[in-house]
Amino acid sequence: MRAPITLMTQLAAVLAISTQSSLPRYQALYEALRQQILDGLLLPGMCLPSSRMMSDALGFSRNTVITAIEQLCVEGYAQARAKSGVYILSTVPVRWENQRAIVTKHQPTISTRGHAILKESRIPSTRGAFAPGIPDIHHFPFTLWQRYLTRHTRNAPADLFFNQTQGGDLGLRQALADYLRLARGVCCEARHIIITHGTQYSLQLIADLLANPRDIVWMEEPGYAGARAAFTAAHLNIMYQPVDQEGLVCATNAWRQPPKLIYTTPSHQYPTGVVMSAARRRDLLARAAEHHCLIIEDDYDSEFRYETKPLAALHALVPNQVIYLGTLNKIFFPGLHIGYMVLPDALADDFRKAQVRLHKEPSYIVQKALADFFRDGHASSYIRKMRSEYQAKRDVLVALLQKNLGDTVQLGGLETGLHLVVYLSKKMNDQVIAAKAQEQGIVVAALSNYYMHTKPVRSGLILGFGNASVPQIKRAGKVLCKIILI
């Protein structure tokens, strides 16, 4: 059965529109024929007019027509038969209207596990005066950084552009080992360090490799939502432990069900900012050793400490019992996407292999540039400079809050990091205040949102000052104070 002659009229009308676009002529003809098939105007078994006939009728070159028909055949809409012609195949899709009805009726759905993950996947705003956890990138020496990147891109051997399997560039791992030894008292060697894409990837690897579904993991309450998301995705049984002014509190009866893993932020608890006391650290380490628990120490912004020297990292006290997590994204800039783990000797090689399979390793060009950035002293000098910058911003914010709010609120988490907490009175609703601030373009986080299992002990606002300029802090701070006092 030959395709009806009206096909030429229909094609000509479609092509009059299609050829006005930037599509090549053969592509326009292919799309027109394909649409005729999908719309059921060209039925299975029909034989297309010859290429010469279509060429004459449409005013296209014969090569253009042949190319379009060949594309139909390649994609399974038609079949060329020797000395017979080109036929529409019977296996083409049904009319699109019917397909759409089927698709609409049977939409893909998110699994129960997926919904649990999405519940933890609120994307925080990074724009606004007080967005927490965002560093100031305006002082970073990007011109210098670009020179390091260019140097290693230009001189890189070809195999550096393939996937790597070493656990990270040796030079960067050695530079980090030297830095951590001086800055945090973490005594490790390059072989103990795995370079990752960031803390979230590190947490996912830990959950996947060290715990089985339904194993118990302890988290601080209130706590870091990113860790909660990683543990939820791994089907772990999260048990929340409260935080007081000395950090994580592990009640005696809690140890009746000892966890497989304990996640904690001892140097600057997230989000309250409290520092775990020395006595609490010793007790936690002793109890964990007694019950063979592994501690995950997230030391996410301890580089920025303002009045006193930091307490030693937990890893510095018991290296084989603690996995130490760090990130360079909060030190330098978020788009760097470089984090690291310091692992017990027995785990390092397995983690290296798993990362290669699950996540791949971060760019070795970037890692080599970072290694030189550390080795040449730029990282240390930049951290010193930014510590001073952040302290000045914090002081401006604290003075403004104290002047405008007085005893109405209490401030916490002032010793270190890039955020502080404004504790509100019981009659104040932190979520309402945060919503009103958002209407004014001011991003603050409600402390109550960081409680997952228990009723919030206190109402408060988390104010990040890292990415705000001093004028922004003053302007937005005054507006926020007015909102709080309403």
pLDDT per position as a tens digit, 8-23: 666 666 566 555 567 7
% the chain with pLDDT above 70: 90
pLDDT per position as a tens digit, 412-421: 999 889 999 9
**Structure tokens belonging to residue 102:** 């089927």
* Residue for token pair 């060009």: 365
Q: In this structure, how many other beta carbons lie within 10 angstroms of the beta carbon of residue 358?
A: 12
What mean pLDDT do residues 481-485 have?
94
pLDDT per position as a tens digit, 78-117: 899 988 899 988 765 555 455 555 555 667 888 877 777 7
What mean pLDDT do residues 379-402 have?
96
Rounded CA-CA distance 453/242 in Å is 10
pLDDT per position as a tens digit, 113-145: 777 777 766 666 666 689 888 999 999 999 999
pLDDT per position as a tens digit, 246-301: 999 987 788 999 999 999 999 999 999 999 999 999 999 999 999 999 999 999 98
82 HSE (CA, 13 A, CB side): 0
* Residue 329 · residue 339 · CB < 8 Å: yes
Q: Which pLDDT belongs to residue 45?
A: 87
Q: Which pLDDT belongs to residue 390?
A: 96
**For residue 5, is pLDDT > 60?**
no
pLDDT per position as a tens digit, 59-69: 889 999 999 98
Q: Which pLDDT belongs to residue 10?
A: 66
225: left (phi over 0), alpha (psi -120 to 50) or beta: alpha
Q: Among 33-42, 167-176, 211-220, which stretch is predicted with the lowest mean pLDDT?
A: 33-42
What mean pLDDT do residues 213-233 have?
94
| CATH classification for the domain delimited by 385-485, as one of 3.30.460.80, 3.40.47.10, 3.90.1150.10, 1.10.1040.10 | 3.90.1150.10
Tell me the β-bridge partners of 461.
422, 446
Instruction: List Cβ neighbours of 207 (8 Å cut-off, separation of 6 or more).
Output: 217, 230, 231, 233, 234, 236, 261
**Whole-angstrom Cα Rg for the chain:** 31
Amino acid at 46: M
Higher pLDDT, 95 or 213: 213
**Structure tokens belonging to residue 128:** 């606004």
- Calculate the alpha carbon distances from 457 to 117, 157, 186, 268, 426 in Å: 25, 56, 34, 19, 10
What mean pLDDT do residues 363-370 have?
95
Rounded CA-CA distance 228/238 in Å is 8
pLDDT band at 51 (very low <50, low <70, confident <90, very high): confident
Question: 382-388: long-range contacts at Cβ-Cβ below 8 A with a sequence spacing of 24 or more?
Answer: 382/139, 382/140, 382/141, 382/331, 382/332, 383/303, 383/304, 383/331, 385/139, 386/135, 386/136, 386/139, 386/304, 386/331, 387/303, 387/304, 387/305, 387/306
What mean pLDDT do residues 430-436 have?
94
% the chain with pLDDT above 90: 61
Higher pLDDT, 163 or 209: 209
Domain 114-123+142-380: top CATH class: alpha beta
| CATH classification for the domain delimited by 6-96, as one of 1.10.10.10, 3.40.630.30, 3.30.70.141, 3.10.580.10 | 1.10.10.10
Rounded CA-CA distance 202/351 in Å is 10
Instruction: Output the average pLDDT for the chain.
Output: 88
Q: What is the 3-state secondary structure (H, E, C) of the chain?
A: CECCCHHHHHHHHHHHHHCCCCCCHHHHHHHHHHHHHHCCCCCCCCECCCHHHHHHHHCCCHHHHHHHHHHHHHCCCEEEECCCEEEECCCCCCCHHHHHHHHHHCCCCCCHHHHHHHHCCCCCCCCCCCCCCCCCCCCCCHHHHHHHHHHHHHHCCHHHHCCCCCCCCHHHHHHHHHHHHHHCCCCCCHHHEEEECCHHHHHHHHHHHHCCCCCEEEEEECCCHHHHHHHHHCCCEEEEEEEECCEECCCHHHHHCCCCEEEECCCCCCCCCCCCCHHHHHHHHHHHHHCCCEEEEECCCCCCECCCCCCCCHHHHCHHHEEEEEECCCCCCHHHCCEEEECCCCCHHHHHHHHHHHCCCCCHHHHHHHHHHHHCCHHHHHHHHHHHHHHHHHHHHHHHHHHHHHHHCEEECCCECCEEEEECCCCCCHHHHHHHHHHCCCCCEEHHHHCCCCCCCCCEEEEECCCCCHHHHHHHHHHHHHHHHC
Q: Which pLDDT belongs to residue 259?
A: 96
Q: Which pLDDT belongs to residue 3?
A: 59
Q: Which pLDDT belongs to residue 250?
A: 85
Q: Whats the size of the chain, residue-wise?
A: 486
* Residue for token pair 């911003």: 393
Rounded CA-CA distance 20/36 in Å is 19
Q: Which pLDDT belongs to residue 93?
A: 53
What mean pLDDT do residues 327-336 have?
94
* Residue 445 · residue 409 · CB < 8 Å: no
Q: Which pLDDT belongs to residue 402?
A: 96
User: What are the residue boundaries of the structural domains of the chain, listed by start?
Assistant: 6-96, 114-123+142-380, 385-485
- Calculate the alpha carbon distances from 163 to 20, 159, 361, 365, 374 in Å: 45, 8, 7, 12, 24
